[in-house]
Amino acid sequence: MLEKWFFDRLRTEVGRNRTLLVEVLNRLRQTRTVQRPLIERRLADGGPVAAACSARLAVLDAQAAVLAERLGELNASPQMPSAMPYVQFLREGVAGGVGLSPLECWAFMAVGQAETVELLEGLSTSLPNDPRTRSLLLAMLAEERDWFDWLATQLAPAEGTAALAAARERFRDLYARARVHALTSFLGGGLINFGR
């Protein structure tokens, strides 16, 4: 219930609150770092996934650069801030992919991708008076959907297995707990108002 209220309020306020917009863009930029060590680990394995992993790393770098540029245009520091609690919690939760099987890496990223796609879908319709940021988010949304679809192809052979079900349950719980940190930082920082 609180999460639904939070995301509804986020979509309502992000277009009229520049401080909130900067926070959201910084959060998006930081989340570009969460998948990187897992992808690098799979890239090092070689094999048929190497090309897709290499391409994904290039996309993450380009997204981070575009977000930094937009933050500069908004007169925010283009420097990467210290890790936000949400991001730090996720990083610690998977420890850079150490000890995770390929299946678990794909499952973790797929859970995160679903959340990212949903967020970008909401944000991209919330900025009618900011075409520059809206265009940036729509481009990201297309890229994130592509990666989400690719991850689904990697998980398809394991659909219906206990191993995949357990991995999804584990990482959905991890993301649910991470979202508590996100809500706490936004609400505690006064970035989203209870009123209006």
Q: For the ranges 27-31, 44-48, 149-153, 166-170, which has the lowest average pLDDT? A: 27-31
Structural domains in the chain, CATH included, are 2-188 (1.20.910.10)
- Encode pLDDT of 62-118 as tens digits: 999 999 999 999 987 656 655 678 888 898 999 888 889 999 999 999 999 999 999
How many angstroms separate the CA atoms of 86 and 28, rounded?
Answer: 11
Contacts of 57 (CB under 8 A, 6+ apart): 36, 39, 40, 43
Mean pLDDT, the chain, rounded, equals 87
State residue 63's pLDDT score: 96
- Encode pLDDT of 8-25 as tens digits: 777 788 888 888 888 889
State residue 166's pLDDT score: 98
Q: Decide: 104 and 167 in contact? Cβ < 8 Å.
A: yes
State residue 11's pLDDT score: 78
Residue 27 has pLDDT above 90, yes or no: no
Q: Is 190 helix (H, G, I), strand (E, B) or coil?
A: coil
Buried b / exposed e over 148-168, threshold 16 CB at 10 Å, is bebbeebbeeeeeeeebeebb
Scanning 74-161, the segments in alpha helix (DSSP H) are 85-94, 102-124, 131-155
Q: What is the mean pLDDT of residues 133-157?
A: 97
